[in-house]
Chain A
Amino acid sequence: MADLTRREHDESEALLHEALAGGHLPRWSALGVAAASVAVAFLLNLTTGVDGVAGTAVVAMLVFLVGQTAWSFVVEGRRHAIDRLATTFVYATFVIAVVPLIAVLGTVVVKGAEVISVEFLTTSMRYATPTSEGGGIYHALIGTLEQVGIAALFGVPLGILTAIYLVEYAPSMRTRRLAHSISFFVDVMTGVPSVVVGLFVYTAFVLTLGLERSGIAASIALTILMLPVVVRSTEEMLRIVPRELREASYALGIPKWRTILKIVLPTAMSGIITGAMLAIARVAGETAPLLLTTFISQSINTNPFKGPQAALPTFIWDQFTNGTDVSVNRAWGAALVLIVLVMVLYATAKLISRFTGVKSS
């Protein structure tokens, strides 16, 4: 009698364990299925119409999806099968998204590194031709730094102030209409193609107001392109600063403008800086508006207020359209410098925001 109950007890314990543990695929299942899928795809490649690297890869992928899901469904049940399917999709999308990024970066680094030298960084194209060796990007580097620098000087403060108005002042004033229309225009501006902005600056400033085609005209176009991005990102950052912090500050008798300056902005600072840097990085690569506002130049012009100025993106475009090997190589070199420039900007932003933002314990 006692034996029987013990056996029953053991059995029910085993059942319980099974219920809790469930079936499992072996640890190597993913790799195993992957290997098998590749093998199957390879076989199909040899025997049937499946052809080429891409086609074989797609077939392998499909076989993997079907195989793993089916196996998991049989052994582990529905929930695990779906889980594995979803996991596979997530990983696959990740790879699909990252591969082109790495490919672009890799190509630019490999091709660009061959060209870059001290001479490349310190000479202009004044005495170089599309076919001659030598020449460099010095003039374009100066142009980009000046144009983007000036644009940032205007665009970042303007954008941040606009966002402060929208978030901090508009709701408590009788200007909600105005705020709504500003918001609307910011949205519209985000979607305006950069070439249109270039055209606008060309017609409004160059043709109508008589501004010379120059670095400053380019800066104006870049400022306009940058503004909506800065406004939006700053706005988002300001909105996530908790209301409680503002109230705590007001309750200490700190005036509103000081609350914004000393409490709200510092709290949101790291995000604001990141947003601003992204905006700057975005416009640093603009080509079309530069062609319309400052055009192309082969020689050094340090004065942004006078005459055409080169810039890295227009340099790349110009060299590429030359079509000769030397020129195309120069374009790759300039592309690498542009990417490094943007990365330096970004790293600086991260560094600054680490020292200004919220203190982590």
Chain B
Amino acid sequence: MAKRIDVTDLDVFYGSFKAVEGVTFSVEPRSVTALIGPSGCGKSTVLRTLNRMHEVIPGAYAEGTVLLDGEDIYGADIDPVNVRRTIGMVFQRPNPFPTMSIKENVLAGLKLDGKKRPKSELEGIVEKSLRGANLWEEVKDRLDRPGAGLSGGQQQRLCIARAIAVEPQVLLMDEPCSALDPISTLAIEDLIEELKERFTIVIVTHNMQQAARVSETTAFFNLAGVGKPGKLVEIASTEMMFSNPTQQATEDYISGRFG
């Protein structure tokens, strides 16, 4: 069950530094939204506020509202741990747990939530998640080997498998391909194409072609200047953004004339 996200007037601070200002946008369920923009404009910051991951950084806080299907995820009685179960995240660098095997990595989120599940169910989830991440065929014979022994691209798909194993409704991806070769990148893009049938996906990318290939909607962020907070310049359908952006800055960025 994918869900929609509505962000309204979001400001994000790291201590006294305002990193992002006045961001408002919506993400449709079962779609891919790409966040693009120059380095340091706050894409990762905005992405992290969508599942309250910024809160693990000391001093970081957000103002504004983020609604998940109408429910305010910053509400007073909302548990950030539950928010993160519903809104999963994949990071720029593959980060499998080094103490765990491939299988244990996939099941980490389920094993460590404190609920007991029958073994047969877990086995099923391992296969389903690894198939979902297009990794099953490559690792099915070595599920008990360390996850850190896989190639970078495989590790990243393992991390995706780990993220989808807990059945989130939204998947956030922060430059998931930037540490990968073109083949692995394609594998992950194909995967995103499949995943959007089930999940709402928000992806940060520096790769214009990638944004054009995988997303329905593109949001362009920019910095007003050094030390100033990042802002959302424009958000529209990817087709519109790449063919006919309304803002000059967007056009400059997309055509590579800046940033």
Contacts and interface: CB of A to CB of B under 8 A. Distances in A.
Interface of A: 171-172, 242, 244-255, 258-259, 262-263, 266-267, 269, 356-361
Nearest to B105: A248
A253 B95 contact: no
Given A244-B93, A245-B95, A248-B159, A359 B108 contact: no
Interface in B9-60: 51, 53, 56, 58
Given A242-B95, A359-B148, A253 B101 contact: no
A129 to B, nearest CB: 56
Contact of A253 (B81, B91, B149): B81
Q: How large is the interface on B (under 10, 10 to 19, 20 to 34, 35 or more residues)?
A: 20 to 34
A359 B84 contact: no
Interface string B118-158: 00000000000000000000000000011011000000000
22 contacts: A242-B95, A247-B56, A247-B91, A248-B97, A249-B108, A252-B108, A253-B81, A253-B84, A253-B85, A253-B86, A253-B88, A259-B112, A263-B99, A267-B97, A267-B99, A269-B99, A357-B99, A358-B98, A359-B146, A359-B148, A361-B145, A361-B148
Given A359-B146, A361-B148, A248 B91 contact: yes
B201 to A, nearest CB: 15
B108 A254 contact: yes
B97 A245 contact: yes
B93 to A, nearest CB: 6
A171 B56 CA distance: 10
A251 B88 contact: yes
Contacts of B91: 244, 247-248, 251
B101 A359 contact: yes
Nearest to B84: A253
A98 to B, nearest CB: 33
Contacts of B58: 171-172
Contacts of B181: none
B113 interface: yes
B38 to A, nearest CB: 23
A255 B115 CA distance: 13
A348 B146 CA distance: 24
A252 B109 contact: yes
